[in-house]
Amino acid sequence: MKNLVCLSRYIKSRFVVMMLMFLSTNIFAANIFIPLESVSELGEGRAGGAAIAEDAATNFYNAAGLTRVDHQQLIVLAMVPYTHQYYNGTMSNPGTTVPLGGGFFINSPIFSTGHTSTSTAAVLPYFHYTIPINNRWHFGVSLLSLYGLGINYPINSIVRYEVNRAYDKSYDLSPSLAFRINPKLSVGIGVDIVYFGLSERNAVRTQPLTTNDSILLNQASAITPGWHAGILYEFTPATRVGLSYRSQIITHLSGSSKFYSGSAAFPFPALPNARTSNFTVTMPLASQTTLSIYHDVSSCWAIMGSIEYQNWGIYRSDHANHVASPTGPIDEIIPRNFRNTWFFALGSRYQLAKQWLVRGGLTYSEGSTTTGSRDVLIVDPNQIGVDIGLRYIQNCKLTWDVGYGYSFPVKVPIHYINPVTQNNLEGNVDYHTEVFGVEATWNIT
């Protein structure tokens, strides 16, 4: 028994070192950009967003376009995005060894083969409002969600040491002013007040010190300002071009980190639960630059297109401070090495009758992750999508829109080694997204 007690004390003294090897968390859900700010725009694949300028939603897409909305208007909409991820492959870890005799593993090696999946859906409400101040000045404001994540793998899945559950959300309050310089040229500018919050949980392999996994839970939030601006030029009443820019935002989140120990395994002492209240992370949110064109081919038919650039290359690593552990707070850095991305969209609309309009769009979105930096939390592959929409004009005051977007399933390779934990994921992820939306537009005056 005395030898077991000594061994227990020795292992405990080594625990500080080995905690850095397996107590890791995927902090962020970056580049989960939610491009769903308008149902009418959804139906056209976001094509022409910075140039269409036909309702209060232009406050988000290009504030300069508010000068084309000559009446007070309110838009209320709800989006329901759905995401499915299916991982098939392996998860392995060599474990951490104490050099006693033939070697003794503090956290034992593991090799798992199998599959697991996560499917998530949410209802996201949005609001857009605009009012003309006079013939040249216009005001608009939007409340929307630009970034979010929903991951919920089973607690016993083979990827639980990387992520079990992650829910990240954001809100953006976005007031703007627009000014018509002359009949052809308008400009707009505004601020973004962005709230970002995260709650992410993963299992921690502490066997054989415990009989089951321990759990790490991190929660943090922050409110950070940004800004946006845009230009709209109307060549003719039928053709216009818009350019908009939304600034990058570096959010410094703060909150808590909690470590919940698994049950003690004889003869080892129980690992203490731990909590820090000064947990911090830095979350980079990319800037967005959009160039759009809109053209009325005839009184019934219009075409539009957009090119968009986002500088996700600013997201180089996950850097977390004061992560809870049984031996005291630790810091960790996990490289991400995201790349800048492009988005392309073509869309069209056709007026079937006085009260009915149909929409369609094709999109190609470039993913921010690459093989080697892609894991099961942040997949973000290249995607091709199709979108459709329908508008019903109930009367001069009220209009209804519905839209549906479908991104074709893709299979992307996962070859990822976590440099902190040495967790090794080798396999593939089948990734698929859909979205449905409904919108009401009320012309108040």
Q: What is the DSSP string of 237-258?
A: TTEEEEEEEE--EEEEEEEEEE
Residues of the chain with pLDDT under 50: 1-31, 98-105
**Selection from 140, 146, 138 nearest residue 56 by Cα:** 140
Report yes or no: 63 and 244 within 8 Å, Cβ to Cβ: yes
Q: 380: which 2 tokens?
A: 């973000």
Helix (H, G, I), strand (E, B) or coil at 129: strand
Name the residue with tokens 């949110």.
Answer: 285
Q: 229: which 2 tokens?
A: 């601006």
Alpha carbons within 13 A on the beta-carbon side of 290: 30
Residue 134, pLDDT score: 95
Residue 12, pLDDT score: 44
Neighbours of 288 (CB within 10 A): 20
DSSP state of 223: E
CATH of the domain at 223: 2.40.160.60
Residue 110, pLDDT score: 85
Name the residue with tokens 């005001």.
Answer: 139
- Distance, in Å, from the CA atom of 374 to the CA atom of 427, rounded to the nearest integer, reads 11
- Distance, in Å, from the CA atom of 134 to the CA atom of 132, rounded to the nearest integer, reads 6
Residue 107, pLDDT score: 66
- Distance, in Å, from the CA atom of 38 to the CA atom of 35, rounded to the nearest integer, reads 9
Buried b (16+ CB within 10 A) or exposed e, 199-222: bbbbbbbbbebbeebbbbbbbbbb
Q: How many domains does the chain have?
A: 1
Q: Which amino acid is at 15?
A: F
Dihedrals phi, psi of 312, to nearest 5 degrees: -70, -5
When computed from its CA atoms, the radius of gyration of the chain, rounded to whole angstroms, is 25
Residue 33, pLDDT score: 64
Domain that holds residue 323: 2-443
- Distance, in Å, from the CA atom of 341 to the CA atom of 381, rounded to the nearest integer, reads 11
**Pairing verdict, β 185-204 and 274-285:** unpaired
**Selection from 110, 111, 107 nearest residue 19 by Cα:** 107
Residue 339, pLDDT score: 92
Name the residue with tokens 């949980």.
Answer: 201
Dihedrals phi, psi of 184, to nearest 5 degrees: -105, -25
- Distance, in Å, from the CA atom of 51 to the CA atom of 155, rounded to the nearest integer, reads 46
Distance of CA 174 to the CA centre of its chain: 18
- Distance, in Å, from the CA atom of 65 to the CA atom of 294, rounded to the nearest integer, reads 12
Report yes or no: 233 and 267 within 8 Å, Cβ to Cβ: no
In DSSP notation, 314-371 reads: G--EEEEEEE--TTS-EEEEEE-----EEEEEEEEEEE-SSSEEEEEEEEEE--S--T
**Start-to-end Cα distance in the chain:** 85
Q: 4: which 2 tokens?
A: 């077991």
**Which residues does residue 310 pair with via DSSP β-bridges, in sequence order?**
288, 341
The helix (run of H) or strand (run of E) holding residue 4 is: helix 2-22
- Distance, in Å, from the CA atom of 367 to the CA atom of 375, rounded to the nearest integer, reads 13
Give the list of residues 6+ apart from residue 53 with CB closer than 8 angstroms, or none. Answer: 61, 62, 64, 65, 66, 67, 68, 69, 232, 240, 242, 294
